[in-house]
Amino acid sequence: MSTVETENSTSSAPTAADTPPEPGTGTATRGAAIGDASVAGGARSGAVARAAGAGHRDRSDASPGAARAVLRLVGSELGLTFRRPRNIAMLILLACVPVVIGVALKAFGSDEETPAIVTQVAGNGLMLTFLSLSMLVQLLLPLAVGVVAGDSIAGEANAGTLRYLLTAPAGRTRLLAVKAVNIGVFGLAACAVVAVSGLITGLVMFPVGPVTLLSGTTVPIMDGVLRVLIVTGYSAVGMAALGLVGLAVSTLTEVPIGAVAATVVTVVFSQVIGAIPQLGPVRPYLLTTWWSSFDGALRDPIATDVMGQGLLVFAAYALVFGAIAWGRFSGRDITS
Amino acid sequence: MTTITGEGAHEAAPPRVTHTEASPGDCSIVARGLTKRFRGGQVAVDDLHLSVPRGSVFGFLGPNGSGKTTTIRMLLGLISPTSGACEVLGRPMPGGLASALPKVGAVVEGPAFYPYLSGQANLLRYDAADPKADPRTARQRVGAALDRVGLGAAAGKRYRAYSLGMRQRLAIAGALLGPRELLVLDEPTNGLDPQGTREVRSLIKEIASDGTTVFVSSHLLAEVEQMCTDIGVMRTGRLVAQGTIAELRAGHEPRVRVETPHPAQAASVLNRLGLARVRTGEDDVEAELGGHAPEVVCAELVGDGVAVRGFTVVRPSLEELFVGLTGEGFDVDG
Ligand SMILES: Nc1ncnc2c1ncn2[C@@H]1O[C@H](COP(=O)(O)OP(=O)(O)OP(=O)(O)O)[C@@H](O)[C@H]1O
Ligand SMILES: [Mg+2]
């Protein structure tokens, strides 16, 4: 009975084998008592109950325990997200885009009308990463993040799993925070998948060397790679901001498709507003305006002012929509 | 140690002070004036006063739509009451949720799991959500819970491929992940086969025999009668009766029914013996048995020359009590 041995190694319950249980002296003893009672009925269920008795820590309000418990829930959440076939499919799709762009550039070359960044890819494979991210950051990446974010709470509510998470008890604030972290990690993963795929495709298909930036200066290749990291990180923060918008929408409904659609519509709506010249004054307040601002990293010196403003807008969105999500979710009736 | 007992062999509850007036300290669940009015004006639970004594197996009965699940949701902090208050394991809800719920196992309105995960992975997921569960023992506890509900062999199967009964069993396993002081089970035997129903019943008795309180909602009166020590009956959001089964039975004494061509003569014998409420029919007589032994009554009748064609002892079933309390109508009360 291996379960009994393992139980001995944990500290919380007296072992039924060597300590006679005293009924009613607390949870741990109770667990052992179940074990003893069941031994009469069958050895298997005896081991079972004792294992259960060892399961709960008596006091885990201490912060290290609480932090570990949060990490465990984050791990569970990430495992769920990254094992889910739908999400894997989205990541694979994202990984394919840089390859397709690379093949297209290789096959058709470039002519006079192609933008500078495109011709630069032909000269340096590293530029493929920037090109891919700038093409994806306005639609496909937000779509992927919108799906995960919109589904986060609404999907659990729709499936009824939300009520079991909350009676576990996951804690509403805690669950929301874990969901937010999960969305952020997924956004980062999505951006990283594009960057890595772009980097590999670029290395394989195009010459790689010192990078000529948009501002005309040439920097060594390692400096170029560092800039790839910066661009990826910046995009990920932009996606996380959108993710919190999606999370807030997700707390408003029990229909996950509705939450996903609403999140994506927000993106498209922002882009339309941003494209209308008469609405120029509104542009700086739109999330979508700042997503492509990472080309500041392709200048020398890096255009920190523009990117800094972008990060501020992202943070503001994250705060406001995080607060909306919390305000809505912490008191909501869970009737699904 | 509880063993599976035959039909009707209801285990006598240990003698205990009746709880209708029990002090809150002895109660695992206390509700005071609990009311829930949903948006749209529907009053699902109306001024509910409930006390579930510690260590009892409490059957929570009521017709469809009478507010059982709504009450359970309020007890578990899933929805907030419109007015009134409730306590679970001595902690006010929903404020004391974080400290009370780790000791509560719950099945609310049927199973809900991730279809693309196995049974085991599903339970690990819920275990991860409990901040007081020890991750080092998670696998053992999950395996143990699965074994307890007879799902050991299907642990690795995807939930999508589970049958209705297997899903229900998995939900019960989820309630048994840790040592519990209280189990809240909303229709736990819904969809189970007869063996499954029996097993769940004996599981509940086994858990209760250790002192764990079990709060179980059900429609199956025979089942409630067999395993519960106490019951509460809901009707359109109100608690219409609460007490031990014996208390509820009081006033519903077993009766004797004698079929005879000489009802008047039989009635006088019954009166002489001191049976209460003798009712004479055309060719039968009924009376409350009280403390009398049926065989003695029968012998007296025969000894007095009454022609006994039939002699029955009628015990009112819980179902009759239930229908008496909640009304005959089939239609769901609005
Ligand atoms: N989210 C909701 N919004 C509005 N009304 C609701 C909601 N949930 C339940 N109700 C109403 O509350 C009443 C009680 O419902 P509840 O689910 O508590 O009944 P129940 O006793 O569990 O019934 P059953 O035996 O069928 O499970 C019903 O009239 C129902 O229509
Ligand atoms: Mg119900």
**pLDDT tens by residue, A86-130:** 999 999 999 999 999 999 888 876 666 666 666 777 778 888 898
Contact B137, A7 (CB under 8 A): yes
User: Nearest ligand to the C-alpha of residue B234?
Assistant: 1
Kindly state whether A51 is in contact with chain B, defined as any CB-CB distance less than 8 angstroms. yes
In order, the DSSP letters of B208-265 are HHTT-EEEEEES-HHHHHHH-SEEEEEETTEEEEEEEHHHHHTT---EEEEE-S-HHH
Let me know if residue A305 belongs to a domain: yes
Burial of A320 (0-12, 13-18, 19+ CB in 10 A): middle
Say yes or no: A159 and A211 in one domain.
yes
Q: Which residue has the tokens 């799993």?
A: A161
pLDDT of amino acid B248: 76
A104 vs A121, A128, B115, B204, CA distance in Å?
Answer: 12, 12, 40, 66
Rounded Cα gap, residues B131 and B34, in angstroms: 28
Q: For chain B, which residues make up each domain, given as ranges?
A: 18-243, 255-315
Rounded Cα gap, residues A205 and A43, in angstroms: 64
pLDDT of amino acid B154: 93
Q: Considering only CA atoms, which of A267, A245, A270 is closest in space to residue A328?
A: A245
What pLDDT, in 10s, does the model give residues B65-119?
A: 899 999 999 999 999 999 999 999 999 988 888 899 999 999 999 999 999 999 9
Find chain A residues with C-beta within 8 A of B209's C-beta: 37
pLDDT of amino acid A215: 77
Burial of B298 (0-12, 13-18, 19+ CB in 10 A): middle
CA distance to partner chain B, nearest, from residue A165 (Å):
6
Say yes or no: A75 and A164 in one domain.
no
What residues are paired with B158 via a beta bridge?
B118
Mean pLDDT across chain B: 85
Mean pLDDT across chain A: 81
Q: How many residues does chain A have?
A: 336
Say yes or no: A94 and A73 in one domain.
no
Kindly state whether B125 is in contact with chain A, defined as any CB-CB distance less than 8 angstroms. yes
Rounded Cα gap, residues A259 and A147, in angstroms: 8
The answer to whether B177 contacts A174, with C-beta atoms less than 8 Å apart, is no
Closest ligand 1 atom to Cα of B187: 27
Rounded to 5 degrees, what angle do the CA atoms B59, B62, B64 make?
130
Say yes or no: A313 and A237 in one domain.
yes
Say yes or no: A77 and A107 in one domain.
no
Average pLDDT over residues A329-334: 92
Let me know if residue A2 belongs to a domain: no
Q: Which of residues 168-227 of A touch B (CB under 8 A)?
A: 168-171, 174-175
> Which of B1, B76, B179 lies at the smallest CB-CB distance from A55?
B179
CATH: 3.40.50.150, 3.40.1010.10, 3.40.920.10, 3.30.70.100. Which one for B255-315? 3.30.70.100
Average pLDDT over residues B116-125: 95
Contact A191, A94 (CB under 8 A): no
Per mean pLDDT, which of A64-73, A174-183, B224-233, B296-305 is the most reliable? Answer: A174-183
Q: How far is the CA of B218 from the centre of ligand 2 (A)?
A: 9
Kindly state whether B113 is in contact with chain A, defined as any CB-CB distance less than 8 angstroms. yes
Let me know if residue A215 belongs to a domain: yes
Rounded Cα gap, residues A3 and A264, in angstroms: 49
Ligand 1, atom 1: nearest CA belongs to which residue? A335
Rounded Cα gap, residues A256 and A267, in angstroms: 17
Let me know if residue A175 belongs to a domain: yes
Q: Is A225 left (phi over 0), alpha (psi -120 to 50) or beta?
A: alpha
Let me know if residue A112 belongs to a domain: yes
pLDDT of amino acid B334: 54
Provide the domain limits for residue A70: 40-83
pLDDT of amino acid B16: 35
What pLDDT, in 10s, does the model give residues B247-280?
A: 777 666 778 889 999 898 999 988 888 888 888 8
Instruction: Kindly give the pairing relationship between strand B182-186 and strand B104-107.
Output: parallel
Find chain B residues with C-beta within 8 A of A6's C-beta: 136-137, 140
**Is the CB–ligand 1 distance for residue B232 below 6 Å?**
no
Ligand 1, atom 18: nearest CA belongs to which residue? B67
B272 vs A293, B49, B251, B259, B282, CA distance in Å?
Answer: 102, 44, 22, 18, 20
Peptide bond into A301 cis (omega under 30): yes
Say yes or no: A150 and A268 in one domain.
yes
The answer to whether B114 contacts A159, with C-beta atoms less than 8 Å apart, is yes
Contact B240, B251 (CB under 8 A): no
Q: How many residues does chain B have?
A: 334
Let me know if residue A30 belongs to a domain: no
Task: Give the three-class secondary structure for B97.
Answer: helix
Say yes or no: A119 and A254 in one domain.
yes
Average pLDDT over residues A7-31: 37
Let me know if residue A133 belongs to a domain: yes
Q: Give me B225's structure tokens.
A: 């009668």
Query: Which ipTM value was assigned to this complex?
Result: 0.79
CATH topology of domain B18-243: Rossmann fold (3.40.50)
Q: How far is the CA of B111 from the centre of ligand 2 (A)?
A: 12
Specify the number of domains making up chain A.
2
Peptide bond into A256 cis (omega under 30): no
Let me know if residue A32 belongs to a domain: no
pLDDT of amino acid A316: 96
pLDDT of amino acid B199: 83
Rounded Cα gap, residues B86 and B292, in angstroms: 44
pLDDT of amino acid B332: 59
Instruction: Kindly give the pairing relationship between strand B284-288 and strand B255-259.
Output: antiparallel
Rounded Cα gap, residues B98 and B76, in angstroms: 10
> Which of A27, A72, A334 lies at the smallest CB-CB distance from B128?
A72
| Exposure class string for A196-229: b at 16+ Cβ within 10 A, else e | ebbbbbbeebbebeebbbbeeeeeeeeebeebbe
Rounded Cα gap, residues B232 and B217, in angstroms: 9
Q: Give the global pTM.
A: 0.80
Say yes or no: A105 and A49 in one domain.
no
pLDDT-derived band at B189, boundaries 50, 70, 90: confident
